[in-house]
Structure 1
């Protein structure tokens, strides 16, 4: 089924994203998970937890050598989940007289912070109450030339242990309904069901099944309704000491359960905890592999573009089993 009659995108399933959280409650939660002043260099944030020892331990997880890329295709088509399509056009078709060999070249451009492109959010991407991670004023640190703190170039290549929490598989459904909130109890239940435990320095990838739903029912506006984490799940992730957080959405449940904060998990993870986010991943092949092998921990490699001052980067995370 590709959509509603007449080509109108299928409406989201109805579900509850509660409980509601007041702004005062959210500010108290922000303060409780904040790690400002903990690390040097500060603009690598929680990625400082990815030590050489953790890289070695992650590399030891490789058994079959199966490589699973997790990026969505470059999306040049406008739609309800892609209001700013990426650009791709040919700049050289090899038809200009020149010495052999002929060359073919193309041009790429993208406004990648959105709901379509697989990308990494660096620490400069989000400010809460005017402050970036570690407390600096965003207006002083981010300008027209880019970010002077928390840029994606400060992160470099990230290699660590990845953990897939495949909620649809645990719950026996094809996908979580848009708007379905994932709570701390859901994460703990997933750990038990999948026989995996989130550890310090891990990258946690949450599969809600939204990409499968899109392929079967058609696109909808995930900014209006999408499955994702409720803010009450974040203290558990903070306690476990994760280094990266990502998923097949943008980690936040939508509509937001927090009054006046449209992306509360972004604020908590990036601005409070210093945890970069991986948005809009394709976790379908990894889900299949997990179901076949029973393995939900793997070597994860993430190599963002080296963009000085950049607030993030398109990226192709790779799981190696």
Structure 2
């Protein structure tokens, strides 16, 4: 942990994504062979399922066709529409910043938990994360498992290694590791989603990926890790990856179509919104084969 904190300097707030340099970007670009781009994000609407402790998503048009039907002015014949979105940043497909969780009153790199205030995070906010352009590796744990992973199933190191073998890849510095659990594919749009039960990786698997030097870990589920948590633990994978290793987490990815295309390694890019002091950001990651 201390080694991960010290690696990029005492004032670093970006963590493991610092490992993505020009070499990683160029190597990832060289993986493009077919020119097929896959949007890995969920649609955003008022029907998007959100945990009950968070507000729902509001999509409101401030100007629409009805305004003109009611007699709104049309200077020069010009008409337009515009809208407003109000949503929790940790909903749908999103990235967790390094200020999202901590313990012992210390964030990643030893910054005080007191720096996260009601007006935003003074340290490790999502605005400190650069655009992520690197090699993506799809770990299709459903296929590696030989079938559906039931809710609560723990994806351990053995299954992760099996999925890596199927992808013909080893995790390396700067990688974005994307884990298909199948959970998102089982959720019907607008359904009453149970956010307390899902398959996900365990701490040992997370530590293996972190020690391999990867820059980001994501999955197609709500919390990356298995729910319910192991006895006596609360978000143990989040604590290790975000707080201890400085690795941001992607959640709510859409990976079914990418898996059906037989993706293994590919160009991956994702740009968080630069929300100053934000604990996360909605994102629309893209994989290019």
Question: When the two structures are superposed, what TM-score results if normalisation uses the length of structure 1?
Answer: 0.82
Aligned to 1:36: 5
Measured in 2, the distance between the counterparts of 1:135 and 1:57 equals 33
- Cα distance, 1:156 vs structure 2: 2.2
Residues 147-173 of structure 1, C-alpha deviations (whole Å, 9 max, x = no match): 111111111211011101001112221
Aligned to 2:139: 165
Contact in 2 for aligned 1:244/1:275 (Cα 8 Å): yes
Aligned to 1:298: 266
Taking the TM superposition and a 5 Å limit, the aligned residue runs for 1:266-305 are 266-290=238-262, 295-305=263-273
Query: 2:25 aligned with 1:55, yes or no?
Result: yes
Measured in 2, the distance between the counterparts of 1:35 and 1:318 equals 28
Contact in 1 for aligned 2:48/2:92 (Cα 8 Å): no
Measured in 2, the distance between the counterparts of 1:98 and 1:135 equals 57
Number of aligned residue pairs: 279
Measured in 2, the distance between the counterparts of 1:34 and 1:179 equals 32
Q: Secondary structure at the match of 1:275?
A: coil
- Cα distance, 1:306 vs structure 2: 1.2
Measured in 2, the distance between the counterparts of 1:57 and 1:161 equals 7
- Cα distance, 1:239 vs structure 2: 2.0
Aligned to 2:73: 97
Contact in 2 for aligned 1:163/1:205 (Cα 8 Å): yes
Measured in 2, the distance between the counterparts of 1:258 and 1:303 equals 36
- Cα distance, 1:79 vs structure 2: 5.4
Question: When the two structures are superposed, what TM-score results if normalisation uses the length of structure 2?
Answer: 0.91
- Cα distance, 1:80 vs structure 2: 7.5
Measured in 2, the distance between the counterparts of 1:236 and 1:86 equals 36
Taking the TM superposition and a 5 Å limit, the aligned residue runs for 1:170-209 are 170-173=144-147, 175-209=148-182
Contact in 2 for aligned 1:78/1:84 (Cα 8 Å): no
Measured in 2, the distance between the counterparts of 1:304 and 1:147 equals 16
Closer/same/farther in 2, CA of residues 110 and 168 from structure 1, 3 Å limit? same
Query: 2:39 aligned with 1:69, yes or no?
Result: yes
Closer/same/farther in 2, CA of residues 298 and 256 from structure 1, 3 Å limit? same
Aligned to 2:105: 130
Residues 104-157 of structure 1, C-alpha deviations (whole Å, 9 max, x = no match): 0111010132xx411011111111221110011111x11122111111111121
Deviation above 6 Å: which 4+ runs of structure 1?
none
Q: Secondary structure at the match of 2:138?
A: strand
Q: Secondary structure at the match of 1:65?
A: coil
Measured in 1, the distance between the counterparts of 2:48 and 2:288 equals 32
Q: Secondary structure at the match of 1:241?
A: coil
Measured in 2, the distance between the counterparts of 1:289 and 1:34 equals 38
Q: Secondary structure at the match of 2:171?
A: coil
- Cα distance, 1:81 vs structure 2: 5.0
Contact in 2 for aligned 1:258/1:264 (Cα 8 Å): no
Contact in 2 for aligned 1:165/1:191 (Cα 8 Å): yes
Task: Give unpaired runs (5+ residues) of structure 1.
Answer: 1-30
